[in-house]
Chain A
Amino acid sequence: MTIEVRNLVKTFGSFKALDGVDLKVESGELVALLGPSGSGKTTLLRIVAGLDWPDSGEVLINGEDALAQGARERHVGFVFQHYALFRHMTVFENVAFGLRVQPRAVRKDEAAIRTRVKELLDLVQLDWLADRYPSQLSGGQRQRIALARALAIEPRILLLDEPFGALDAKVRKELRKWLRSLHHEINVTSIFVTHDQEEALEVANRVVVMDKGRIEQIGSPGDVYESPASAFVHGFIGESIELPVQVEGGVIRLGDRPLRLAADGLAPGASKLFVRRHDMLVGPPGSGAFEGAVRHVRNFGPVQRAEVALSGGETIEIDAPRDKELRAGDTVGLEPRRYRIFAGA
């Protein structure tokens, strides 16, 4: 099953939630819609599911016009951030719901429904909770039940709205891996929405980065991390140092100081310089494009993080290897191993 949206526009009052979105998801893909809150990612997902309607544009599921159908006819599995389980039903009945409401002509008999629900509970590894009520489950268990419930109707596509957003960090990490392996197993075309870049990069085959109702970049997790297409993507994905610079006559200036960086092919004017924290190499004073004084050094994880006050006045944070000797008060030279410059203030 493929999903295609064309030139989708949706406004809420004066707020433009979607501003001309085009996207094609191939069969069997697991795509992440990544963006800050208000970027339109949930609206896009809800429109694909039939829970919201666009002002204009097209939605095609498997080449058919989906906007002609309501949520009920689209045969789409939808998983909500806050689970939306039916509180008055047991776990078993929650999962069975989609099977029980089918039109009589195609409805399975009770034995077949039981078998199917059992299979799904096994799939999400929670068969032992069949007789509990949702309120008796942990958040992670609830979300897995919600997923089993959505899969019960054998949906053509699966849509997940911030599926792990309400869970604590450890459970999120477990469920991420689990979702990826589940997708591998059932291979249904899926889109999930998240504002957590790590989640998107770790789980999805392809990442769609959104901001202000527009798609900023579509690419593999490697692509969007290694070659961000815009200042927004660079700032949003991965931890970046962001410096306002001025490009003039082949020279890049930070404040009034020229930087020893190549300015070939850059449009003149106010721009932004982006460097990944770990791409800023520390050397002796006077050795790199920047110079600054170390303010603090904190040691944790595989790197040490240093706060450096540049001589231009800005303060940046860099990640240096643990074996590099850094102390507060040192003056250091900094050379960006890789950097990107985007025009615009």
Chain B
Amino acid sequence: MSALAARRRTLPGFGLTMGLTLSWLSIIILIPLAGLFLKSLELSPEQFWNILSSRRTLNALRVSFGLAFAAACVNLVMGSIIVWALVRYRFPGRRLFDAIVDVPFALPTAVAGVALTALFAEKGWLGAPLAALGIKVAFTPVGIFVAMIFIGIPFVVRTVQPVLQDLDPEIEEAAGSLGASRWQTIIRVILPSLAPALLTGLALAFARAVGEYGSVIFIAGNLPNVSEIAPLLIVIRLSEFRYADATAIAVVMLVVSFVIIFAVNRLQRWAQSRIPAR
């Protein structure tokens, strides 16, 4: 006991909080995921491979990951511009716009799906003019893309906003007085300073879009091989009582998502290491 007392930490409670953290993470995340892996073990490696290499599965994964990445990229660009406007300028309605950014967080995704579908349907407010230009959005992969942009935007805005707020406007003035053009200031000074936050925002928006189900299925049209997302295929397999098939696709999604998130995380670490704390 005396030896323990001598090594007392300045911040007590490590044992308790660490224990709670581990048990809670286990119950909430690790055990369900382990169950998923166990279930997929019911399949032989050959069966597993066949399910994965089927055209429908591959297409569903391609649609999910490809469009999620594209949507995350669009959100990165547009989100950065929105953040810039919200942080750097004072205009009437700024607080309102700031609040509107959070709507996709809170709105039930099914509601968002129905609203987007109505808007982009061929007779909808936006769908009609687009249709006149020959662009079909609802019930095509473009619709999935739009829904994924909708649900991902707050992730970019909310991760980048605090970092930009902390960025001292003086460094922009310094760049300007050293002869940098506005564009050079953005490319050489502002973006590198924001890079870690931008990458985090990208990763979060991407992860959210890969996992999105509710809003997408309303607008997608859900045509196998064309506009069918992987989560939907899982649900379809489940309704056919092909549980092992469903878990096999789920495992692949899990692994791919984890690898991508992990990679972005490392990239973000690396970017962060180049900007040591003040």
Contacts and interface: CB of A to CB of B under 8 A. Distances in A.
B188 A51 contact: no
A84 B170 contact: yes
B193 A87 contact: yes
Contacts of A149: 174, 178
A163 interface: no
Contacts of A136: 276
Nearest to A155: B177
A90 to B, nearest CB: 10
A50 B173 CA distance: 9
A89 B193 CA distance: 10
B18 interface: no
Number of chain A interface residues as a range: 20 to 34
Nearest to B272: A88
Contact of A101 (B170, B179, B275): B179
Interface in A72-102: 72, 74-78, 80, 82, 84-89, 97-98, 100-102
Given A78-B173, A80-B170, A98 B178 contact: yes
A25 interface: no
Contacts of A102: 179
A270 interface: no
Contacts of B168: 82, 84
Contacts of B171: 84-86
Contact of A86 (B184, B189, B195): B189
A100 B178 CA distance: 10
B177 A101 contact: no
Interface string A161-185: 0000000000000000000000000
Contacts of B189: 86
Interface string B224-240: 00000000000000000
A84 B173 contact: yes
Number of chain B interface residues as a range: 20 to 34
Contacts of A101: 175, 178-181, 184, 188
Given A84-B168, A135-B277, A97 B175 contact: yes
B164 to A, nearest CB: 14
A98 B277 CA distance: 24
B173 A97 contact: no
Contacts of B274: 88, 133
B90 interface: no
Contacts of A72: 176-177, 179-181
Nearest to B183: A101
A283 B195 CA distance: 71
Contacts of A76: 177
A51 B195 CA distance: 26
B275 A97 contact: no
B196 to A, nearest CB: 10
Interface in B29-56: none
A312 interface: no
Nearest to A135: B276
Contacts of B192: 88-89
Given A72-B181, A97-B180, A88 B174 contact: no
A71 interface: yes
A269 interface: no
Contact of B177 (A51, A89, A100, A135): A51
Contacts of A74: 177
B9 interface: no
A47 interface: no
28 contacts: A50-B176, A50-B177, A51-B173, A51-B176, A71-B177, A72-B177, A72-B179, A76-B177, A78-B173, A80-B174, A84-B170, A84-B173, A85-B174, A86-B175, A87-B193, A87-B275, A88-B195, A88-B275, A89-B192, A97-B175, A97-B178, A98-B179, A101-B179, A102-B179, A146-B174, A149-B178, A150-B177, A150-B178
Given A84-B170, A86-B171, A98-B180, 17 more contacts: A50-B176, A70-B176, A72-B179, A72-B180, A84-B174, A86-B174, A89-B192, A97-B178, A100-B188, A101-B175, A101-B178, A101-B179, A101-B180, A101-B184, A135-B278, A146-B174, A153-B179
Interface of A: 49-51, 70-72, 74-78, 80, 82, 84-89, 97-98, 100-102, 133, 135-136, 146, 149-150, 152-153
Ranked 4 nearest A-B pairs via Cβ: A98-B178, A84-B170, A84-B174, A101-B180
